[in-house]
């Protein structure tokens, strides 16, 4: 069961998939931030769309090829949560963007861009499951991440376990973690 809260907003993103580059002017790329309700109505031209739905307390919904034919599209949302984790490197530098790997129920989750916001360091729309977030050590970091760290900041890897289940709030505050000095 998904519980909605007063003043909660849902983010809906449509992008029309256009196979013919000559019809570029017909492309639709629209974002909506709307109050939560039981249903939403959009008048869309028939065609193929990418659809993404984000809402705290709900697993993110994404479909890369939704066919709109003038009828009603029903989307079943599954429960989940947004997750906030704060990281502090040695020398007390707070970081949002660091190299990491997220495992759910023992399997690596693909497509990081579907659920991670590098600007805030928050995860959005993770479904129920047992997770381990592995922060890569400074020597394992991708080059674009190490270029953003000050000279002389070295740290080891860190595993952060957490769980999302029926008792989880819509936004799960996992905590603030200091990366081990290396």
- Predicted confidence at residue 2, as pLDDT, reads 46
Determine the Cα–Cα distance for residues 94 and 92; give it in Å rounded to an integer.
Answer: 6
List pLDDT tens digits, range 48-77. 888 888 888 888 888 777 877 777 777 888
- What is the reported pLDDT for 97? 62
Write down the pLDDT at residue 130: 97
Average pLDDT, the chain: 80
pTM, full prediction: 0.76
> For residues 83 and 113, what is the distance between their CA atoms, to the nearest angstrom?
15
Instruction: Write the CA distances from 6 to 42, 69, 156, 169, integer angstroms.
Output: 23, 33, 42, 14
Pick from 120, 119, 99, 102: nearest CA to 111: 102
Cα–Cα distances in Å, from 143 out to 37, 107, 149? 44, 25, 10
Mean pLDDT by 10 residues, the chain (182 residues): 58 75 60 74 77 84 77 80 88 73 91 76 91 89 72 86 94 91 83
């Amino acid at each position: 069961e998904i519980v909605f809260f007063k003043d909660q907003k849902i983010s809906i993103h449509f992008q029309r998939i256009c196979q013919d580059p000559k019809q570029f002017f017909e492309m639709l790329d629209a974002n909506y931030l709307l109050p939560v309700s039981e249903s939403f109505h959009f008048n869309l031209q028939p065609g193929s769309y990418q659809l993404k739905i984000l809402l705290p307390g709900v697993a993110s919904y994404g479909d890369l090829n939704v066919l709109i034919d003038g009828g009603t599209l029903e989307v079943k949302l599954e429960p989940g949560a947004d997750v906030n984790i704060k990281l502090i490197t040695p020398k007390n530098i707070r970081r949002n963007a660091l190299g990491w790997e997220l495992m759910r129920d023992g399997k690596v989750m693909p497509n990081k861009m579907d659920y991670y916001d590098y600007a805030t360091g928050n995860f959005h729309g993770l479904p129920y499951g047992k997770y381990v977030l592995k922060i890569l050590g400074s020597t394992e970091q991708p080059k674009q991440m190490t270029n953003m760290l000050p000279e002389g900041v070295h740290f080891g890897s860190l595993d952060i376990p957490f769980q999302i289940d029926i008792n989880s709030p819509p936004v799960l505050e996992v905590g603030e973690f200091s990366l081990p000095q290396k």
